[in-house]
C-alpha cells in the first residue's frame, strides 16, 4: 500500500469512495463527497491523502484549513475529516495509516493544532483528546469534538474559538 497526495483527477473516484463508505455505516451518507469537492474547490485543503494498492483506491483523508484563536492569538490549525475507507477494506489499518501520514504532513507544514469531530473510542489513539478542545467555542463542541497539539510548545488556552472552513456549513 502506498499513501500519496490526492490530485484533481482523483476527485471522482474519491467521491465514489466516500459515498460507498458512508452509505455502509449506521449514520449513512450526508454529503461527505460533496464536502471533499467543496474543500478542494475552495482552496481549503491542508492535506488530502489517498491510500492505494496496485492502482486501486483503498482510502482517503482530508485535513482542511480552520480559523482558530487561542487567548486572542491566531493558531495554524487543520480539521481532520472526512476520512473514508472502502467498506471491504475497513479494519485493516488503512484509516490509521492515512491519519498518521496526515498528522506528519501537518507537523511538517507548521500546523500547531488539529481538530476532529469523531468517535471518542477511535481518535484518541492518534492523540486527539476532548479536553484539549474544551476551551474552544465551536458549533461542534461536546464529547466528540477533540483536538491534538502538533506543536509541543502549544499551551492549553483559557478560551478560544475554532471554526471549520465554510464548506462544512453546506453539509446536509
pTM for the structure as a whole: 0.93
pLDDT of residue 171: 67
**pLDDT reported for residue 128:** 98
114 to each of 65, 92, 142, 172, how far by Cα in Å?
Answer: 10, 24, 16, 23
Count Cβ atoms within 10 A of the Cβ of residue 114 and give its class: 0-12 exposed, 13-18 middle, 19 or more buried: buried
Write down the pLDDT at residue 25. Answer: 59
pLDDT computed for residue 148 by the predictor: 98
The candidate with the shortest Cα–Cα distance to 102, out of 1, 6, 31, is 6
Q: Give kind and range of the element (H or E) at residue 87.
A: none
| Phi, psi (deg, nearest 5) at residue 72 | 85, -5
Here the cell at position 36 is: 471533499
The DSSP H or E segment spanning 47 is strand 45-53
Model pLDDT, residue 23? 80
pLDDT per residue as tens digits for the range 54-97: 999 999 999 999 999 999 999 999 999 999 999 999 999 999 99
- Which stretches of the chain score pLDDT less than 50? none
C-alpha 47: how far from chain center: 9
pLDDT at 27: 63
Amino acid at each position: 500500500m502506498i499513501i500519496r497526495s490526492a490530485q484533481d483527477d482523483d476527485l471522482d473516484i474519491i467521491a465514489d469512495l466516500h459515498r460507498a463508505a458512508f452509505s455502509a455505516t449506521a449514520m449513512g451518507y450526508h454529503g461527505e463527497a460533496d464536502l471533499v469537492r467543496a474543500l478542494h474547490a475552495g482552496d481549503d485543503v491542508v492535506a488530502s491523502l489517498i491510500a492505494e494498492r496496485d492502482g486501486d483506491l483503498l482510502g482517503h483523508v482530508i485535513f482542511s484549513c480552520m480559523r482558530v484563536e487561542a487567548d486572542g492569538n491566531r493558531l495554524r490549525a487543520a480539521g481532520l475529516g472526512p476520512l473514508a475507507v472502502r467498506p471491504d477494506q475497513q479494519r485493516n489499518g488503512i484509516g490509521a495509516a492515512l491519519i498518521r501520514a496526515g498528522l506528519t504532513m501537518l507537523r511538517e507544514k507548521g500546523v500547531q493544532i488539529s481538530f476532529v469531530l469523531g468517535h471518542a473510542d477511535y481518535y484518541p489513539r492518534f492523540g486527539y483528546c476532548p479536553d484539549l478542545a474544551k476551551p474552544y467555542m465551536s458549533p461542534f463542541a461536546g464529547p466528540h469534538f477533540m483536538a491534538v497539539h502538533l506543536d509541543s510548545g502549544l499551551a492549553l488556552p483559557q478560551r478560544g474559538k475554532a471554526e471549520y472552513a465554510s464548506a462544512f456549513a453546506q453539509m446536509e
